[in-house]
Structure 1
């Protein structure tokens, strides 16, 4: 079955421990709802730098990555349907869905 990368962009960090617990529960519930399709729940990521032939840009560029996950899905349409339930969407973030190509 094909694997898909969910690349998370944007969102915001919880401001209180209570909000943090609520956010973690939303993510845990979302992953649980996808069941065995979740290959790697991934992690949030820290500050990044973009490396190109012309040099290195700080702060991850125009749309910095904020985290990732890896899921199994029968098609990109099925993966997109799963991504539509992502909790990051509720805090202004987005999910980029791309197939991880087997080589």
Structure 2
């Protein structure tokens, strides 16, 4: 079954530790509801640096990620349907969703 990586972007940060805990509890309940479709819950990420052919840019990334996760679904449409209820969207964030393609072994 195809796998899809989705990256978390933007959104409001919690105002208080209690709001952060509530948001995390909502995310965990959502992730638990996905069951085995969520093959890798991923991790949040810190500061993003942009590496170019000429070096490391001091300019912020145009679309920095906040974290990633991986899920299995029959199709892109099915993956998007599973992701429509992600709590990250309730906080004004967005998700970028991409199908992961097999890496040809002979190209490694």
TM-score, scaled to structure 2: 0.87
Q: CA deviation at 1:60?
A: 4.5
Counterparts in 2 of 1:3 and 1:58: CA distance versus 1, 3 Å: farther
Bigger-Rg structure (1/2): 2
Superposed, 1:24-103 pairs within 5 Å as: 24-58=24-58, 60-103=60-103
Structure 2 residues not aligned, in runs of 5+:
104-108
1:15 to 2:9 alignment: no
Structure 1 residues not aligned, in runs of 5+:
none
Moved over 4 A (4+): none
Please list the CA deviations of residues 61-98 of structure 1 after superposition, one character each: whole Å capped at 9, or x if unmatched.
11111110010111011111111111111111100000
State whether residues 47 and 60 of structure 1, in contact with CA within 8 Å, keep that contact through their aligned partners in structure 2: no
Q: What is the RMSD computed on CA atoms of the aligned residues? A: 1.4
TM-score, scaled to structure 1: 0.91
Q: CA deviation at 1:59?
A: 5.9
Please list the CA deviations of residues 9-65 of structure 1 after superposition, one character each: whole Å capped at 9, or x if unmatched.
112332212101110111011101111101110111101111122432246511111
